[in-house]
Chain A
Amino acid sequence: EDQVTQSPEALRLQEGESSSLNCSYTVSGLRGLFWYRQDPGKGPEFLFTLYSAGEEKEKERLKATLTKKESFLHITAPKPEDSATYLCAEPSYGKLTFGQGTILTVHP
């Protein structure tokens, strides 16, 4: 069974305190790894797609990286507005399989 596992489940940071979120996957025939941001009561908002090991993508304070077995979402000098749930997902035969998410809280 395809599985996507994220860690930690929750992460509390002080504003400016950099950290990383992890996403491990077991889907065979990887056709991309996606990161989404989800605010409470909202739909997932697309952040990044990574297709091959070694690939990196950046957007403001976020940088996503990919290895053969996992992906990291690095958050540099986070601000309170970065507080959200960060989801990773993999496509498999068209559908996305999501991890359970990491709830990030950034305190001012």
Chain B
Amino acid sequence: EPEVTQTPSHQVTQMGQEVILRCVPISNHLYFYWYRQILGQKVEFLVSFYNNEISEKSEIFDDQFSVERPDGSNFTLKIRSTKLEDSAMYFCASKQTSAQETQYFGPGTRLLVL
């Protein structure tokens, strides 16, 4: 069964460093998303991406964040200068079409900023 994959599974970084989180969405899906979940809190929307551009972004998704689809399979989230409060699980999700709302999630990347 097709699934969303994410790498790395864990990332430890120093405050102020740049990190890139990688995702491979399900192959025939066209809509891509990043969410994050701080320990013990709700899953929160960060950004949606379609047709090589951002469709919508939340207040969390400030200038420190960027997304990119560098090739036909990968979808990345970059945090330019990490802060302690960026420590969280980051989930990538994808869905097939605009009519179908179901989003399928990857296993997540646990980011720890020291």
Top 9 closest pairs, chain A to chain B, by CB: A43-B105, A95-B45, A98-B43, A91-B101, A32-B101, A44-B105, A43-B108, A43-B107, A94-B48
- Please state if A41 and B43 are interface contacts (CB–CB under 8 Å): no
Expressed in whole angstroms, the minimum distance between the Cβ of B66 and any Cβ of chain A is 18
Interface string of A12-45 (1 = CB under 8 A from B): 0000000000000000000110101000011111
* B25 close to chain A: CB less than 8 A: no
Interface string of B39-56 (1 = CB under 8 A from A): 001111100100000011
The contact size tier of chain B is 20 to 34
Q: Please measure, in the bound complex, the distance between the C-alpha atom of A93 and the C-alpha atom of B48, giving whole angstroms.
A: 10
Query: Residues of A contacting B102 with CB < 8 Å?
Result: 32, 34, 46, 49
Nearest B residue to A90, CB-CB: B101
Expressed in whole angstroms, the minimum distance between the Cβ of A38 and any Cβ of chain B is 8
On B, residues with C-beta under 8 Å from A are: 4, 6, 31, 33, 35, 41-45, 48, 55-56, 58, 89, 91, 93, 101-108, 110
Q: Please measure, in the bound complex, the distance between the C-alpha atom of A44 and the C-alpha atom of B55, giving whole angstroms.
A: 22
Q: Please measure, in the bound complex, the distance between the C-alpha atom of A103 and the C-alpha atom of B88, giving whole angstroms.
A: 19
Q: Please measure, in the bound complex, the distance between the C-alpha atom of A55 and the C-alpha atom of B98, giving whole angstroms.
A: 22
Given contacts A31-B101, A43-B105, A46-B102, contact A95 B43 (CB under 8 A): no
Query: Residues of A contacting B33 with CB < 8 Å?
Result: 95-96
Interface string of A85-108 (1 = CB under 8 A from B): 001010101111111110000000
Nearest B residue to A101, CB-CB: B42
Nearest A residue to B106, CB-CB: A43
- Please state if A49 and B43 are interface contacts (CB–CB under 8 Å): no
Q: Please measure, in the bound complex, the distance between the C-alpha atom of A96 and the C-alpha atom of B104, giving whole angstroms.
A: 11
Q: Please measure, in the bound complex, the distance between the C-alpha atom of A99 and the C-alpha atom of B102, giving whole angstroms.
A: 16
Q: A46-B104, A93-B56 are in contact. List 4 more A-B contacts (CB 8 A).
A: A89-B43, A94-B56, A96-B45, A100-B42
Q: Please measure, in the bound complex, the distance between the C-alpha atom of A44 and the C-alpha atom of B91, giving whole angstroms.
A: 9
Query: Residues of B contacting A97 with CB < 8 Å?
Result: 45
Q: Please measure, in the bound complex, the distance between the C-alpha atom of A31 and the C-alpha atom of B48, giving whole angstroms.
A: 17
